[in-house]
Amino acid sequence: MNRRVILSLFALLVAFSLVGAPITMADWGEQATFSSERIEKSDIQGDTPLLQYDSLSNSAQDAVRRTIESPDGHYTVFGNEDRPDRFFYSDYAAPGQGLYAIAYEGQYYRFTTYASGGFPFVYWLYQLPFIIYGLILGGVSYTSLQGRTTARTAALTAVPGIAFHRLGPEFDFPLLTPMQFVGFGVLAVILVLIGLLWASLRETTIMAPN
């Protein structure tokens, strides 16, 4: 199997993963939100469980620490599998069921957990730029397999597709907010279309008779 086929098939695989964004980015609609507020020990209600940070699991500690250290006291994880199972998640909070007190580094915090999200079609709309990019990448990969475009073009076009997965809900949006991520997808679609149009015009100019 030559280099062209390998690169083209790799790009095609990335394209399929983007076209299937409603599945590969399904974590987007499976959100758990944490919030914290510093309180005095006397503010803890009798029926609210007091949890010691050091006694929590690693995943629960990570959620608590990130929430408390967040500038606005909020933190969100995406994907049901990433939710610490020590806590309860719903659209309401009651003592022991979404409402807790946390002892953390000598301070006390009111800690609440919620299951959040929205209608599936909202997330499909957010995923639309990545689906479109996947369709474009699929077309580039197919023409590369046929030898009508270079394998280098297919590979370079696949790079943003890989970045989408690394920066998206699968990894809890590590560098961008969800809306910035959508904007990144829209920008990538515009740039790749401009690049492909320029390449097509350039090829037409080169092939035109003098």
pLDDT tens profile 148-197: 888 888 999 999 999 999 999 999 899 999 999 999 999 999 999 998 88
pTM of the predicted model as reported, rounded to 2 decimal places:
0.83
Q: Is there a contact between 39 and 101 (Cβ–Cβ < 8 Å)?
A: yes
Q: State the pLDDT at residue 149.
A: 84
- Give the span between the Cα atoms of 61 and 63, in whole angstroms: 5
Please name which of 173, 131, 156 lies closest in space to residue 28, comparing C-alpha atoms: 173
Parse the chain into domains and list their residue ranges: 3-26+119-207, 31-116
User: Which residues are within 8 A (CB) of 53 and not within 5 positions of it... i.e. 6 or more apart?
Assistant: 61, 64, 65, 102, 103, 104, 105
What's the CA gap between 156 and 163, in Å, rounded?
Answer: 12
Question: pLDDT tens digit string along 105-135?
Answer: 999 999 999 997 777 888 999 999 999 999 9
| Angle at CA of residue 113, ends 107 and 117, nearest 5° | 145
